[in-house]
Amino acid sequence: MSRREAFLAVDVVGALHIVGTLIAYLSLATLVPAGVALGYGESVWPFLAAGGIAGGIGAGVALATRGDYRLNVREGFLVVSLTWLVAAALGALPYILSGDPQLDRPIDAYFEGMSGFSTTGGSIVVNVEDLPRSLLIWRQFSQWLGGIGIIVLALAVLPRLRVGGRQLLEHEMPGPEIETLSTRIRDTARRVWILYVALTIVLFGIFIALWATGVDEKMTPFHAAAHAFTTIPTAGFSTKGNSFEAFAPTTQWVAILFMVLGGINFALMYRTIVRRQPRAALRDQELRLYLALLVLGSVVVVTEIWTEDVLSGWHAVRAGVFTAVSTMTTTGFSVEDYNAWPALALMTIIGLMFVGGSAGSTTGSVKVVRHLLLGKVLRREIDQTLHPEVVLPVRLNRTVVEERTLRAVSSFILLYIGIFVLGAAALAIDAARTGLELSAFDAVSVSASMLSNVGPAFGIGGPLGSFEPFSDFSTLVMTGLMWLGRLEVIPIVVLLSRHYWRS
């Protein structure tokens, strides 16, 4: 026993070893944009250098902390929180090293890195199309890596992590509980990843087909790959300044379909598609509510923009559905600048930001299942006010949900709202301090959008805007919100507790 262990109840050294190992492997991902740079004759070295630096530090930390350690629940929180913090730094390195004027400031680059891995999709870049293609692909690819989770990837691909992985996965996978597809967590991770890769390839194929058949001339192989990387993970970075507005209506409908798929529980999708158990999907209460809310949100937005004469006909339907789906699934693509839409439509969009997709999907935000469970708990509370003795277990898909989980759901939602409010307040105050033109409603929308990993918000941070005008402090606040949102708050908040560090 080392002295440090006696002092701290957390095995920091062991946690660092895992983080170092993960980052060392993750740095290999820079080879992808390096390849693209090579292909387009752009500068390769920012990626190789970034990979070398991150890989070297990661491997160095891993080697220095080698030893016999035992990781359990406690260390899991630290590993997951740190991994994502460092991954965003890895994402930022090529931006800084490239020296591109739009992204070379470290704080801005770090924001962009976090927005990438956390699949938020809000960008500091003003003119996306001015960036080199290799840098663009790195932005897109970082979202694809972050989409289903870095640790899921590690568990699925890496030979051995020396940890069980269940706790790590529990903190990283969205939703109150993880749904396993096999007895070994590793096999679950592997299957989820295979499905993720398969969906990406299918979408890429469809985009290419649209381009090849002349339906959408703008969807070149480069853009097809770039958008395939960011649609399934419901991420939202685009290689076009006006996002999906640049593409044909058919392409937009395809994107809608795949955003919806990205918001479905991957375990459930695996059962339905691979194991041919469509009944499980039909009966799944979360999936049904998810689809119902998508339809409801779409109908409301379409009605609002059509009746207010902003748009009409198929254009209104497409724009309304795309916006509602993109927002609720926390993707953040856009086909219209909704800043000019009526207030009611904007309220609906803010509301949709707090919904999110299913647990075990690639979406951010609260998640449909938590809303479902909270609704059931509230209904039970009302019933029990009238009948104090009645015993009412809350069921999800006919299975009784443990009281512990229900409490966790309620406290999660409270914490989530608390952080959202704090974030909005910080942004509003800072905007007033620096003289940034940001209304209270805009501040609220930015906080909600960042925490829910949506991306675009209202005002200057709108679909066609950029977060570049925000002060460094605000940029850091937004970066923090993305980090908190991606890991669903709890693993990070736990680290702030004194009881976490002391036995």
Partner 1 sequence: MKIFIIGAGQVGATIVQALHDEHELTVFDLDEERLAAISQRYDVATVEGNGASRRVLAAAGITEANLLIACTSRDESNIVAAMISKACSSRTTTVVRTTNPEYLEVWREGQLDVDFIVSSEVETAYAISRTIGVPAARQTDVFAEGQVQMAEFDVTAKADPILLGMPLREARLPADSRVAAIIRGEGVVIPRGDEKIRPGDRIVVIGSPHAAQEWGKLIAPGTGKVRDVVIFGAGRAGTAVARLLLEQGIGVRLIVASRERARDVAAELPDTRVYHATGFDPDFLDRERIADAQVAVFAMRDDMKNHFAATLAKVHGARFTVAIVHDAPSQEVFEHAGIDVTVNPRQITAEEIVRFAHDPRTQQVVMLEGDRFEVLDLTTRRDSEYVGLTFKEMPIRGALIGAIVRDGTAVFPRGDDVLRPGDRVIVFTESRRVPEVEKAL
**Residues that bind partner 1 in the complex, under the rule CB under 8 A:** 387, 389-393, 395, 398, 400
Residue closer to partner 1, measured from CB, 242 or 405: 405
Q: Is 394 in a helix, a strand, or coil?
A: coil
What whole-number distance in Å separates Cα of residue 238 and Cα of residue 30? Answer: 19
Query: Is the Cβ of residue 127 or residue 399 nearer to partner 1 in the bound state?
Result: 399
Rounded Cα distance between 362 and 232, Å, is 7
In the bound complex, what is the minimum distance in angstroms from residue 322's beta carbon to partner 1? 40
Question: Nearest approach, Cβ of 385 to partner 1 (angstroms)?
Answer: 12
Question: C-beta of 296: minimal distance to partner 1 in Å?
Answer: 28
Q: How far is the CB of 414 from partner 1 (least distance, A)?
A: 25
Q: What is the 3-state secondary structure (H, E, C) of 420-482?
A: HHHHHHHHHHHHHHHCCCCCHHHHHHHHHHHHCCCCCCCHHHCCCCCCCCCCHHHHHHHHHHH
- The separation between the first and the last C-alpha atoms of the chain, rounded to the nearest angstrom, is 15
- Residue labelled with tokens 């809303």: 371
Nearer to partner 1, 68 or 389 (CB): 389
- Minimum CB–partner distance for residue 288 and partner 1 (Å): 18
Closer CB to partner 1, 182 or 397, in the complex: 397
Phi and psi torsions of 362, nearest 5°: -100, 5
Task: Tell me if residue 395 falls in helix, strand or coil.
Answer: strand
Query: Shortest approach of partner 1 to residue 406 CB, angstroms?
Result: 13
Residue whose entry in the numeric block shows the structure tokens 């590793």: 186
d(CA 446, CA 338): 14
- Comparison of 130 and 402: residue with beta carbon closer to partner 1: 402
Nearer to partner 1, 6 or 391 (CB): 391
- Tokens representing residue 312 in the block: 């009409």
Q: Which is nearer to partner 1, 129 or 383 (CB)?
A: 383
Q: How far apart are CA 254 and CA 169, in angstroms?
A: 30
User: How near is the Cβ of 402 to partner 1 at its closest, in Å?
Assistant: 10
Q: What Cα–Cα distance (Å) separates residue 7 from each residue in 278, 313, 449? A: 53, 67, 40
Residue 282 beta carbon to partner 1: minimum distance, rounded to whole angstroms: 19
Measured distance CA(203)–CA(325) in Å, rounded: 17
Query: By C-beta, is 160 or 398 nearer to partner 1?
Result: 398
